[in-house]
Structure 1
Amino acid sequence: MEKYPLFETERLVLRQITMENVDFLYELYTSDDVLKYFGMSPIQSKDVVVSMVENYEKQLDLGGPMRFAIVEKQTDKMIGTCGFHGISKAYKRCEIGYDLIPDQWGKGIMGEALSPLLNYLFMDKGMNRIGAVIVPYNKASSRVVEKLGFKQEGLLRDYILQGDHAYDAYMYSLLKKEWLE
Structure 2
Amino acid sequence: MSTEFPVISTERLILREATDGDAADMLQYLTDIRVVKHMGLAPFESTADAMDEIAWYRSIHAEGTGIRWGITLKDSGKMIGSCGFLNREARHFRAEIGYELSHDYWGRGLAGEALRAVVHYGFNRLQLERIEALIEPENGPSIKLVERNGFLREGLLRHYEYTQGKFDDLYMYSLLKGDCT
TM-score (norm 2): 0.91
Q: Residues of 2 paired with 1:111 and 1:85: CA distance?
A: 18
Equivalent runs, 1:21-100 vs 2, <5 Å: 21-100=22-101
Q: What is the CA deviation profile of residues 19-67 of structure 1, one whole-angstrom value per residue up to 9, with x for unaligned ones? A: 0011222232222111111112233542233233233234323323111
**RMSD of aligned residue pairs (Cα, Å):** 1.6
SS at match of 1:40: coil
Structure 1 residue 152: Cα displacement? 0.3
Partner of 2:171: 170
Decide whether the 8 Å contact of 1:41 with 1:162 is kept in 2: no
Q: 1: CA distance between counterparts of 2:150 and 2:8? A: 20
Deviation at 1:87, TM superposition (A): 0.9
Alignment correspondent of 1:161: 162
**C-alpha distance after superposition, 1:87-145 (max 9, x if no partner):** 11111100000000112111111110011111111111111100001111111111111
Tell me whether 37-46 or 79-88 shows the greater mean CA deviation: 37-46
Distance 2:42 2:161 in 1: 11
Q: Which amino acid aligns with 1:19?
A: D
Q: How far apart in 1 are the matches of 2:62 and 2:34?
A: 33
Aligned-partner Cα distance in 2 for 1:58–1:157 = 29
Report deviation, 1:158.
1.9
Change (3 A) 1:58 1:163: closer
Counterpart of 2:19? 18
Give the 3 Å change call, closer, same or farther, for CA 167–57 of structure 1 in structure 2: closer
Q: Is the 8 A contact 1:155 1:170 kept in 2?
A: yes
Query: Gaps (5+ residues) in structure 2?
Result: none
Residues 3 and 60, structure 1, Cα contact 8 Å, conserved in 2? no
Number of matched pairs: 180
Q: Which residue of 1 aligns with 2:145?
A: 144
Seq. identity, %:
37
Residue range with higher mean Cα deviation, 160-169 or 100-109: 160-169
Aligned residue number for residue 124 of structure 2:
123
Q: Distance in 2 between matches of 1:162 and 1:30?
A: 17
